[in-house]
A and B are shown apart, each in its own frame.
Chain A
Amino acid sequence: EIVLTQSPGTLSLSPGERATLSCRASQSVRSPYLAWYQQKPGQAPRLLIYGASSRATGIPDRFSGSVSGADFTLTISRLEPEDFAVYYCQQYGSSLLTFGGGTRVEIK
């Protein structure tokens, strides 16, 4: 099973600031089949990014994804009030999918 480690656990930032979230895989993720989700309290997750860097339908361009080897990054260029939430990475390159533990982005 591929283990995904997200860091930091919590990111305290102000609206307008840049957020950089990391997701490291314990082994190579095929192709790269990695997604990012946003989850707000009481809601189902929402798909933001797939294929490591492609935005899902309707996702604003302030959200971007990148990859370097086994390290994946989600960047939010300028935080809007609605972006404060928990973010999860997920690998789907293996038949056994896994999620990272999540990064909470909170208002400073």
Chain B
Amino acid sequence: QVQLVQSAAEVKKPGASVKVPCKASGYNFTAFFIHWVRQAPGQGLEWMGWMSPSSGDTKYAQRFQGRVSMTRDTSITTAYMELTRLRSDDTAVYFCARGTPSGWWGQGTLVSVSS
């Protein structure tokens, strides 16, 4: 069955970078966009961008331009979201999701940014 598996949690200091993996299985990895969505504690969903696993093309929300990079390794059917220059307000659960709209989601990775 379709699965998107993410790492459980990351703890980072302000100014550092985080690279969150999303391991896909159970379907043709290159056939569906991967979206990244984050959710700060007690807040709503925020769309960050999408990546095409077949071409590597990406589109990022304007507020993350210059700080986010979405990549993939098709040999291990894994998508990645890297966020640089982390701030405390980047503390959130980061979800990967398959397709547009997204019918399959990873379980989320909690990224905590604290000094």
B16 CB-CB contact with A under 8 Å: no
User: Measured between C-beta atoms, what is the minimum distance from B62 to chain A in Å?
Assistant: 7
Q: Complex formed: what's the CA distance from A90 to B47 in Å?
A: 9
For chain A, give the interface size range.
20 to 34
Task: Please encode chain A, from 41 to 68, with 1 for each CB lying within 8 Å of some chain B CB and 0 for all others.
Answer: 0001111001000001100000000000
B72 CB-CB contact with A under 8 Å: no
Name A75-108 residues within 8 Å CB distance of B: 86, 88, 90, 92, 95-102
Q: Complex formed: what's the CA distance from A46 to B47 in Å?
A: 15
Task: Please encode chain A, from 18 to 35, with 1 for each CB lying within 8 Å of some chain B CB and 0 for all others.
Answer: 000000000000000101
The residue in chain A whose Cβ has the minimal distance to the Cβ of B48 is: A97
Q: Complex formed: what's the CA distance from A35 to B103 in Å?
A: 10
Q: Which A residues are in CB contact (< 8 Å) with B26?
A: none
For chain B, give the interface size range.
20 to 34
The residue in chain B whose Cβ has the minimal distance to the Cβ of A6 is: B44
Q: Complex formed: what's the CA distance from A102 to B100 in Å?
A: 19
Q: Complex formed: what's the CA distance from A56 to B35 in Å?
A: 18
Q: Complex formed: what's the CA distance from A88 to B105 in Å?
A: 15
B-binding residues in A (CB < 8 A) = 1, 33, 35, 37, 39, 44-47, 50, 56-57, 86, 88, 90, 92, 95-102
A-binding residues in B (CB < 8 A) = 35, 37, 44-47, 50, 59, 61-62, 95, 97, 100-103, 105-108
Q: Complex formed: what's the CA distance from A32 to B35 in Å?
A: 20
Q: Complex formed: what's the CA distance from A35 to B105 in Å?
A: 15
Given known A-B contacts A44-B107, A97-B50, A92 and B101 have beta carbons under 8 A apart = yes
Given known A-B contacts A99-B46, A99-B47, A101-B44, A44 and B106 have beta carbons under 8 A apart = yes
Given known A-B contacts A35-B101, A44-B95, A92-B100, A97 and B108 have beta carbons under 8 A apart = no
